[in-house]
Amino acid sequence: MNEELKKVMAAAEVWTREPYDAETREQVKKMMEADDKTELVDAFYRTLEFGTGGLRGIMGPGTNRMNKYIVAMATQGYANYMLKVQKEGGFQNVQNGRVAVVVGHDCRNNGRLFAETVANIFSANGIKVYLFESLRPTPEVSYAIRHLKCQGGVNVTASHNPKEYNGYKAYWEDGSQVLQPHDQGIIDEVNKVTLSDVRWEANKDLIEIIGGEMDYDYMMAVKSVMIDQETILRQKDLNIVYTPMHGAGRQIVPMCLRSWGFQNIHVVPEQMVIDGNFPTVVSPNPENAEAMTMGMNLGTKLGADLVIASDPDADRIAIVCRNDKGEWVIINGNQTNIMYHYYIINNMKRLGKLTPDMYLVKTIVTSELIRKIADAQGVTLTDEYTGFKWIANRIRMWEGKRKYIGGGEESFGFLPYDAVRDKCSPSSICLICEIAAYAKDNGMTLYDYLLKIYQDYGFQRETTINVVRPGKTGAEEIQAMMKNFRENPPQEIAGEKVVKVKDFKTLDQCTLVDGKWEKEKIEMALNATSNVLQYFTEGGLKVSVRPSGTEPKIKFYFEIPVQTEIGKPFTGKDYERCTAEAEARVPAIKASLNI
């Protein structure tokens, strides 16, 4: 038996004794006795890391798994840190001398168990808990933290991950996921906690159940996003199909749509059923076309204008509309963000609502076409790191100085208002329906509206390549890949010379000027760094490389421009031709990067 396996066996043996429950003890014993120790090693080779966003992992017994013991220790560490900050006077709105949190969960298996575990431990530490009565969207948890003037919160969710996963998103007093220095502060406290440190006995007097009233307040906040009510009233019969993919949007999204004035809303009945096994999809990820199949089938039957989905915790969205042939086409995350930014700028300007202090946000791996749109219209646009906590950080930095009117990222997320500080599918779904209504009011489909943007600003195709490397060896391989890219950057990509390199880990930008590389520093909020590399070629190609912070994969983002004549009508055939031309370049780009 090698040394690594000895350490794993020793760690697992602890879980075969009390205080671990009988079922957990038995499951661990079976793993230890199995001839194949792969499952055992993966469950115990490390402790599931409490990262800057919280926890996410496969459910089951073990130190590297999501279970009530790992959740309990994480919560105890989070509670310890909150009480430490309170003692140092670090919170703004502590009421009655008691720290308060909001706790929620989505539809995933063990979600209620984990949420109640979190609530019990917070209350056992003297912290006031507002616990949602049942599953709720992630953005509603963010909203409730702000609305109730709490100091933090937890939502138990693994977002769009497969059914085997669950997770734990930690929030701070502004309703955003935790940022520095508090992220590291929480991590340090969590790492100190052992199971014997956990205070399990709940103080029921400190746990308050919330639900319907918060739903109403949140729905009214979502309604504040509306830009053009008159157009919606004219197009109130826009034919909409919606699916929550078995998740937390099932009640609130149709309610919000009706509050905006839309009256022709249909739901996919099979996917309205709350089920953490997600029986009607391979994976509940709106980025996967397969997940939209049932919605499109119902849309065809009902002659719908568009089909919309939210993921299990209702922060991400997916949009399907008809092309010029009447066929269903999925609008990808970059295109979704392009339409949001274009519509917000142009229609707020048209209605006299756009003011010089307003600004928009995108992430560094999101389409550069948004930059073209904002610059052409004279609207401030900032670039932030991937993750909505960075968009929330920008809102916090400029609060009281400038007005936030929207921001998003390519992974099917958008936030059109500042009452929430995480991506928000209920408000984003309502807004995309307003955009579709505006398009219809002007004799266009949503697809035509997208083509109009390409006509005005040119075409480029964004493609994401995910290289999945699970387990311990996979994590090591991903680290080695990033090390190689950093030490041996490509000189050419797909036959085009690389003329700019950005390394967000060192905040160095190197630009090729007259045959010589010139170095300068990249300015990012809080001078924060991130393990992201970007390469720009002389032909306008952009490649971003980023290991996922929540999943066992490394992501490659390609932005591939295709030459078009600006202002010339851009048709569906043009779209198909340009898309094919861009996609034809992908193999050469991958070959240049050895992926």
Last residue of a domain, one of 163, 183, 210: 210
Q: What is the Cα–Cα distance from 518 to 402, expressed in whole angstroms? A: 34
Q: Are residues 126 and 137 both part of a single domain?
A: yes
Other Cβ atoms less than 10 A from the Cβ of 521: the count is 10
Q: Are residues 332 and 384 both part of a single domain?
A: yes
Rounded to 10 degrees, what is the CA torsion of 465, 470, 472, 478? 0
Beta strands in 448-532 (DSSP E): 459-468, 492-493, 496-503, 508-513, 516-521
In a domain, residue 30? The reply is: no
CB 335 within 8 A of CB 269: no
Beta strands in 347-458 (DSSP E): 358-363, 380-384, 403-409, 413-415
Q: What is the pLDDT of residue 52?
A: 79
- The total of structural domains in the chain comes to 3
Tokens at 202, concatenated: 């709940």
Q: Are residues 252 and 355 both part of a single domain?
A: yes
**What CATH number is associated with residue 311?**
3.40.120.10
Q: What is the pLDDT of residue 204?
A: 98
CB 401 within 8 A of CB 228: no
C-alpha distance from residue 292 to each of 268, 287, 432 (Å): 10, 9, 17
Other Cβ atoms less than 10 A from the Cβ of 94: the count is 18
Q: What are phi and psi of 570, to 5 degrees?
A: -110, 115
Ranges in the chain, pLDDT < 50 = none
In a domain, residue 283? The reply is: yes
Q: Are residues 475 and 567 both part of a single domain?
A: yes
If we measure between CA atoms, which residue out of 241, 234, 226, 298 comes closest to residue 440?
234
Q: What is the pLDDT of residue 1?
A: 64
Q: Are residues 560 and 539 both part of a single domain?
A: yes
In a domain, residue 195? The reply is: yes
Rounded to 10 degrees, what is the CA torsion of 156, 161, 163, 168? -20
In a domain, residue 29? The reply is: no
If we measure between CA atoms, which residue out of 411, 257, 402 comes closest to residue 337?
411
Residues 6+ apart with CB under 8 A from 357: 401, 402, 403
| Token pair 């103080």 in the structure block, residue | 203
- 159: annotated active-site residue: yes
Q: Are residues 165 and 301 both part of a single domain?
A: no
If we measure between CA atoms, which residue out of 172, 305, 175, 291 comes closest to residue 236?
305
Q: Are residues 60 and 154 both part of a single domain?
A: yes
Residues 243-256: tens digit of each pLDDT: 999 999 999 999 99
Residues 6+ apart with CB under 8 A from 275: 107, 246
Last residue of a domain, one of 457, 475, 492: 457
CB 388 within 8 A of CB 415: yes
* Cα–Cα–Cα angle for 440, 445, 451, rounded to 5 degrees: 130
In a domain, residue 466? The reply is: yes
| Token pair 């700019």 in the structure block, residue | 500
In a domain, residue 524? The reply is: yes
Q: Are residues 257 and 185 both part of a single domain?
A: no
User: What does the mean pLDDT of the chain come to?
Assistant: 96
Q: Are residues 58 and 199 both part of a single domain?
A: yes
Q: What are phi and psi of 285, to 5 degrees?
A: -110, 115
Residues 266-289: tens digit of each pLDDT: 999 999 999 999 999 999 998 889
| Token pair 């209350």 in the structure block, residue | 123
* Cα–Cα–Cα angle for 437, 328, 272, rounded to 5 degrees: 80
Strands 207-210 and 128-132, bridge-based pairing: parallel
In a domain, residue 293? The reply is: yes
Q: Are residues 452 and 465 both part of a single domain?
A: no
Read out DSSP for 203-265?
-GGGEEEE-HHHHHHHHHHHHTT-S-HHHHHHTTT--EEEE-TTSTTTTHHHHHHHHHT---E
In a domain, residue 311? The reply is: yes
Alpha-helix residue ranges (DSSP H) falling in 45-110: 68-87
- 3-state DSSP assignment of residue 87: helix
Q: Are residues 246 and 321 both part of a single domain?
A: yes
Q: What is the Cα–Cα distance from 510 to 486, expressed in whole angstroms? A: 12
Q: What is the pLDDT of residue 472?
A: 77
- 3-state DSSP assignment of residue 89: coil
Long-range interactions of 494-500: CB distance < 8 A, separation 24+: 494/537, 494/541, 494/585, 494/588, 494/589, 494/591, 494/592, 495/588, 496/537, 496/538, 496/539, 496/541, 497/537, 497/538, 498/535, 498/536, 498/537, 499/536, 499/537, 499/538, 500/534, 500/535, 500/536
Q: Angle of helix 138-147 relative to helix 212-223, nearest 10 degrees?
A: 100
Q: Are residues 242 and 369 both part of a single domain?
A: yes
The residue range of the domain holding 249 is 218-457
Last residue of a domain, one of 210, 238, 262: 210
Please tell me which residue in 123, 134, 142, 159 is annotated as part of the active site.
159
